[in-house]
Structure formats: structure tokens, C-alpha cells
Amino acid sequence: MDEMTELRELRADAPVPDRAALAPGRKRLTDAIGGGGRRSYRLRTDWRIASLGAVAAVTAGALLFTQVLDVPAPRPSAPATVTGDLDLTSPAAALGRAADFLDRQEAPPEPRSDQWIYLREKNPEQEEGWAEVPAEVRERMDMGGYSPDSWVPYDDKAAENDASDTDYRTARESYRIAAGLPEEPRALLAKLREVFPSGDGEYGEREDEAEHSFRALYVLLQSYPLPPAAMARIYRAMATVEGVGVTDHLIRDASGRQVIAVTRAYDRNTRREILIDPVDYGYAGERDVVTRTHEAPRPEGLTPRVLKRGDILMNVARTRAAVVDAKGQKP
């Protein structure tokens, strides 16, 4: 059996991912083949990008289905003055409170062009999936192992000048896009739909306006850093998107923290959750949750997998983000 066959069989029951999820994986695979070094930290959390070959090994843990129990508010470790003010009765209430808080924060200086963005993320399914990739396969394909840490340059001019992936924006581009967003929610959403264009149907169904707006918002929110005032505008606009909800209690993320979950249906069987820290209202991660028990399609000859309501298909927690002076440096 060759290594491609081994990799295909690692997760043969993987569901078909959407265009937004596939795009960064396609680009990283193309860059790897061509020897390029570009890497999108902003979209790396959406690891359902599994395409055959090297990316399949990198994302081998994507379908180790787990269940995470939701827990009631408030978050014990958070200051009482913050958790006591949480209002999770509606998206407008929760995101409006977050926006008001961020509007009062002083913006730090924009990172210098020679600095790096450090991110640490907890992704237990991906970590377990890496452990299941046979060592000989990794050796043959010259791949390392799973690491929760990543570094990307803040100023990456080569990536900025590469227009082949419309879903990718560098850290500097994202910062400046966010800083220049209009105040009015409809105008802000229109601008983001322009910045992150919708697909042509090749990799899934076309997005409607609300779906497109939500995707553009969460793609930008994964960037770091973003000016606090810009995040406030983003949250207010998010609350106006059709179909957006918020859980009426804090939930536990992959690292065990209690976080706010802003939700929207991903398809008829799942919802996407953007996770927000209830103390500083920063981006804290994301989950995909099964909302309807159903059979997931699998390749011909394999028994369909039953996914139950509450199963977690993606569960990523961002536990640290910082601007540092060099690659490999940790705050």
C-alpha cells in the first residue's frame, strides 16, 4: 500500500468541506509543492480543509468526534464586575455589551513591519489525529508533528502581492482592513463581502448574503491584532446578520475555559460557533456543532457514520496571542 492510499484511509468518512475551508488548504498544498513558505495563520484553525495528500495527514484528526458539555454562566475566574454584566439574552445584547467595552479600550500601536504574530491554540482532535499518522508515512512525506504554537511575520509583502487566494489576508492587511471599516453595520458588511468574495459554486453551494457576511466576519476576527474600536464595529455588525444567535449560557471551549458562543447555522445539520472571551471580549476560538442527528456520507462501500446532535466536529481554542520581536519567541 502506498502512502497516498494510507492517508486516504485514515479518515475515509470525512464530510465534504466548504469552499472557504478548502481555499487555504489548497494554497498551502500548492505552496508546499512549489517550495513556497507562505502560511495563513488566520485560517489555520479551520482544519476541515482535508484534501488528499499532505493536507489530509495534517488534518487527520478532524473527524475524531467528541462531545463537550455546556456549562452555566458565570465564568468563575472572571471578575464579578464583568461576568455580572453579561447579558446573553440576544446577539444584540451580548455583542453590544462587548462593543461598548472595546470602545473604551486604548488601542496599542500597530506592530512594526519586522515583528511577528505568535499564536497558541488548543486543538485536541488535531493533536490526536497527528498521533495516528504512522511515523513511516510522516518520514516519507517529510512532515513534522502537531504543534500548538505558530508564528507568522506581521509584514509579508510577498503574500500581500499574491492574489491567487482571495480568502487570504496577511496580518498587516487584516489590521488595516479592520481599521478602515465603516461604522454603519450594513456598509461594514458590504465592505467585508467585497474584501472576502463569495465562491462561484465550484466547491459547494453559493452563499446567500447573510451566510457570506457571517463568513467574512469570522475570517477577519481570527486575525491578530485588530484595533479595539474596529472589533467593536465588527461585533455590532455581526449582531445584525440574519440567523445569528448567542447561547444563553457560557460554554466550555477546548481548553476548558468558559466563553461566549455566537452561533449561526452552517447547514441543515450543523452550526458554527464563534467563541468570545467574556472578560476582554477577544476572539477565543471556534466550534462546529451537530444540531441534527443524521448519517454522514462516506465513500462507496463504507457504512455511513451516524452523527448525533451535540457532537463536535471542530473545536479550537486560542489560548494565547501576542506580538513578538522574532520567530520562535514566546511572550
Q: Do the domain assignments include residue 331?
A: no
**Residue 19's CB: how many other CB atoms inside 10 A?**
19
Report pTM.
Answer: 0.75
Per-residue pLDDT for 176 more than 70?
yes
Q: Do the domain assignments include residue 330?
A: no
Compute the C-alpha angle 271/275/276, nearest 5°.
145
Between 273 and 199, the higher pLDDT residue: 273
Q: Do the domain assignments include residue 253?
A: yes
Q: What is the number of structural domains in the chain? A: 1
**Residue 281's CB: how many other CB atoms inside 10 A?**
23
Helix-strand-coil split of the chain, %, nearest 5:
35, 20, 45
**pLDDT value for 281:** 98
Among candidate residues 132, 155, 158, 156, the one with its CA nearest the CA of residue 145: 132
Q: Is the dihedral of CA 316, 322, 326, 331 positive or negative?
A: negative
For residue 202 the three cell numbers come to 465550484
**pLDDT value for 168:** 82
**Residue 43's CB: how many other CB atoms inside 10 A?**
23
pLDDT in tens, 266-296: 999 999 999 999 999 999 999 999 999 999 8
Among candidate residues 119, 147, 40, 115, the one with its CA nearest the CA of residue 330: 119
| For residues 288-305, average pLDDT | 89
Q: Do the domain assignments include residue 287?
A: yes
Q: How far apart are the two ends of the chain, measured CA to CA in Å?
A: 45
* Rounded percentage of the chain residues whose pLDDT exceeds 70: 71
Q: Do the domain assignments include residue 142?
A: yes
Q: Do the domain assignments include residue 109?
A: yes
Q: Do the domain assignments include residue 320?
A: yes
**pLDDT value for 200:** 62
| For residues 157-173, average pLDDT | 80
Q: Which domain holds residue 315?
A: 3-324
Q: Do the domain assignments include residue 279?
A: yes
What whole-number distance in Å separates Cα of residue 331 and Cα of residue 325?
A: 10
Between 31 and 200, the higher pLDDT residue: 200
